[in-house]
Structure 1
């Protein structure tokens, strides 16, 4: 994980995670199901993601951990088979995503080279094999390259949407042309996996400069992606006949660029799709899938988790790649999408429930995660109902859920492995440090006072209220007459290894700041 992550980096991780290839794969499928109401379908799916991001934001502030989703589930439901099974389901969900990205890579590439099915299968096999080899030897894409790629993908989508809006035929978007409400929701939920990825921001909790940027990064990333997806859907259904979209379903986004940008637009989007889906396969293999596998194997993240390689679990990389190859080469796009979206709707349902269950440890409005839980459950139910007519589409999803808990139960029985109470040992160390704040706070006061001679320092926040179990750090109010930004930075830098949040406030505002804090205690040298 990149250290000292700021808002821009966290935002980039979230947007890059969502626009990782899903939209390139499932746009045509969504239009096929929801027809001209596809923009509404994308909006509904996005709103569920946005509400769920609230739960992720609150949980990631209170429990900053590279374990992210798994850590939150363990904190809420314990470290038994249930949490372990959900971790396996999360891992299988990422395997489905690798399959989806590879399927999209093969579809766009085959259409560019030759419209033969065999070419698609060759490309699917080649791209998974390539990134499996790359990850096995630890040759990873740099953070700067990832940021540039995110900017490239986002720019392409915005250009396609912006230019295409000038050619949209409003009559094709009239409510009279929409499908029934159930089909709209089903169309949104089958492509819900296009929003999977915002939760990756939560995995940066231990590495952000300021935990307060996490909610801003989560909400802004989801909102930006919702806007882009809805605009792309509007352009697609507003400029292309329904029959054309269905015919080019597997590469519909490239087709959507043709009316406004011609062959150049088609080629540009195709190249963007190849780059995007390829990088998404790499990012999933070396990031999220690896974390879930490590937890499944060891019960926690190893101490050297910062080394982003599969050195400790080459067999995991091989298993994930083989399953992805089989799924991408044998299942159709609809079955893969149902399995992926269904898996993440289940995971997000339990994350919302986790936030609700842990509400007494979080600064949270319980109505929001409750709404998230209700909406994710309802969305999953409608997706299952709508897809029930095609047994194959549900078979993979049902198989994934059953296999998750069966694998966890068998692995526990045969190895004795249990999920650790703390998935990320750094979170355990952080919480122990906060609980023992009285033993080191004098050193912090002495250090700040040494740098700023006239500083008055007060303990505030959850610790001052005696609610240490709710604290994600120790808040100190530092009242000064005048202090430069450089000096503030120097103080923050000196305390960077401690869970301390220094709030520099002008002495003139002391009375109002203490009144707002309500509970506080003057700390002397």
Structure 2
């Protein structure tokens, strides 16, 4: 960014504390709560809650490291910026590459989730329509996105509250189904934690919007742990309710876990409400994901790691409009043409790699820079690497291949520019 044009290319600081928390909640309390419980139960069985607790510990460490770094570097881009500043250009680039590629695939998968809940026979068409609509909302300004996210979060929380009350109040619960020790392997628990961590990873959206948050040094370190804490509480309550009613085996076999929990409680008439809540949750996740990906693309374009044209900021709406349109177009094409179930695996791998770099960056903060306690980035880094390589082998291979491709592109670019 040139010194003569900072006022034109900078984004506008419009988001307060409540807006930042709501955007984080919209990213985390999304499609994952309606879909992640079943594969986690298949991996860990009765060890599901242990996996949830492990994911929570890693997520807390990542959130703390990210919050301290975001307060120090309140610019769009998240760990892309932190890695470049603390570890060097390559590590920041690798974090940004993993985030953009992985999250674009995740956006498409979540868009398809909307389609499958709203109109299964026309899932791809509904997915594209959702992407187009939310890209349009993002294009006209961050306040519109924050307002829509607030409505979505309130709706989804209300639906989840109804599900929990109905299942615990009317269903036949069995406390022995919470026995987390029986028949649970360490590998299964780690895989479950990796799957559940994917659903928590949205708190990075607050950090990637750092250039649009008012008083970021104060707001971001408070907003991230607050949003994470609320999400952990919601996930824990819903997971316990589902286990008490269905048990780990029935939960593992469920195609739509919360709908099955409602059916088991004898209130089948609530199923349409659950489906509507799932669609709303997926829309909230998609909205926040597109925001985060476009801001990271903006930061990388400013440094010419992506085409510099994507660094443009709309003169009226003060959003990275070209980056948003490109991200929306790529997501729409993927949602229309691809089955992205396997993409979630390498997306999880990429997200964990992204946070591994964030923790390594936080480790380098000096005492004068308000670092987290040393144990936080150590546990966060070790946890990210452990969960990443505990994922199914196909996810590890595809995720590593994506990161390697990005590293190769970086190396080629450096060779060309240094000649």
Q: TM-score scaled to structure 2, two decimals?
A: 0.84
Instruction: Report the counterpart of residue 398 of structure 2 in structure 1.
Output: 396
CA contact (8 A) 1:136 1:317 kept: no
Quick one: distance in 2 between partners of 1:153 and 1:252?
15
Q: Mark the structure with the bigger radius of gyration.
A: 1
Q: How does 1:235-246 map to 2 (within 5 A)?
A: 235-246=241-252
Quick one: distance in 1 between partners of 2:269 and 2:229?
29
2:319 to 308, 319, 327: 308
Offset from partner CA, 1:305-332 (integer Å, 9 cap, x none): 6633533674454334334545xx3343
Instruction: Report the counterpart of residue 188 of structure 2 in structure 1.
Output: 183
Displacement, 1:96? 2.5
For residue 64 of structure 1, give the secondary structure of its aligned residue in structure 2: coil
Displacement, 1:211? 2.7
For residue 131 of structure 1, give the secondary structure of its aligned residue in structure 2: helix
Q: 1:312 to 1:267 in 2, by over 3 A?
A: closer
Displacement, 1:105? 2.2
Q: 1:398 to 1:67 in 2, by over 3 A?
A: closer
Quick one: distance in 2 between partners of 1:50 and 1:39?
16
1:5 to 15, 23, 27: 15
Q: CA RMSD in A?
A: 2.8
Displacement, 1:178? 4.4
Quick one: distance in 2 between partners of 1:18 and 1:313?
21
Instruction: Report the counterpart of residue 374 of structure 2 in structure 1.
Output: 366
Q: How does 1:272-291 map to 2 (within 5 A)?
A: 272-285=277-290, 287-291=291-295
CA contact (8 A) 1:14 1:200 kept: yes
Q: 1:214 to 1:378 in 2, by over 3 A?
A: same
Instruction: Report the counterpart of residue 152 of structure 2 in structure 1.
Output: 149
Q: How does 1:77-96 map to 2 (within 5 A)?
A: 77-79=87-89, 81-96=90-105
Instruction: Report the counterpart of residue 446 of structure 1 in structure 2.
Output: none
Q: 1:282 to 1:407 in 2, by over 3 A?
A: farther
Displacement, 1:368? 1.6
Quick one: distance in 2 between partners of 1:360 and 1:148?
40
More displaced stretch, 28-37 vs 130-139: 130-139
Displacement, 1:299? 1.9
For residue 175 of structure 1, give the secondary structure of its aligned residue in structure 2: coil
Instruction: Report the counterpart of residue 124 of structure 1 in structure 2.
Output: 124
Tell me which of the two structures has the higher relative contact order, counting C-alpha pairs closer than 8 angstroms and 6 or more residues apart: 2
2:303 is the alignment partner of 1:294: no
Quick one: distance in 1 between partners of 2:133 and 2:267?
37
**Count of matched residue positions in the alignment of Structure 1 and Structure 2:** 394
Displacement, 1:71? 1.3
Instruction: Report the counterpart of residue 451 of structure 1 in structure 2.
Output: none
Quick one: distance in 2 between partners of 1:72 and 1:239?
44
Instruction: Report the counterpart of residue 34 of structure 1 in structure 2.
Output: 44
Quick one: distance in 1 between partners of 2:56 and 2:116?
25
2:80 to 66, 70, 84: 70
Structure 2: any 5+ residue segments left out of the alignment?
1-10, 305-309
Q: How does 1:79-478 map to 2 (within 5 A)?
A: 79=89, 81-109=90-118, 119=121, 122-132=122-132, 135=135, 138=139, 141-166=144-169, 167=171, 168-206=173-211, 207-209=213-215, 211-249=217-255, 251-260=256-265, 262-285=267-290, 287-299=291-303, 302=311, 304=313, 307-308=318-319, 310-311=321-322, 314-326=325-337, 329-332=338-341, 335-360=342-367, 362-364=369-371, 365-383=373-391, 387-388=392-393, 391=394, 393-410=395-412, 416=417
Q: 1:30 to 1:17 in 2, by over 3 A?
A: same
Quick one: distance in 2 between partners of 1:44 and 1:296?
32
Q: Greater strand percent: which structure?
A: 1
Q: 1:93 to 1:229 in 2, by over 3 A?
A: same
CA contact (8 A) 2:153 2:284 kept: no
Q: Greater helix percent: which structure?
A: 2
Q: How does 1:507-522 map to 2 (within 5 A)?
A: none
CA contact (8 A) 2:46 2:178 kept: yes
Quick one: distance in 2 between partners of 1:313 and 1:237?
40
Quick one: distance in 1 between partners of 2:296 and 2:37?
28
Q: TM-score scaled to structure 1, two decimals?
A: 0.68
Q: How does 1:488-507 map to 2 (within 5 A)?
A: none
Quick one: distance in 2 between partners of 1:27 and 1:322?
28
Displacement, 1:338? 2.2
Quick one: distance in 2 between partners of 1:187 and 1:97?
18
Displacement, 1:271? 0.2
Q: 1:41 to 1:309 in 2, by over 3 A?
A: same
Displacement, 1:55? 0.6
Instruction: Report the counterpart of residue 14 of structure 1 in structure 2.
Output: 24
Q: 1:187 to 1:379 in 2, by over 3 A?
A: same
Instruction: Report the counterpart of residue 441 of structure 1 in structure 2.
Output: none
Structure 1: any 5+ residue segments left out of the alignment?
114-118, 418-525
Displacement, 1:33? 1.2
Q: 1:411 to 1:261 in 2, by over 3 A?
A: farther
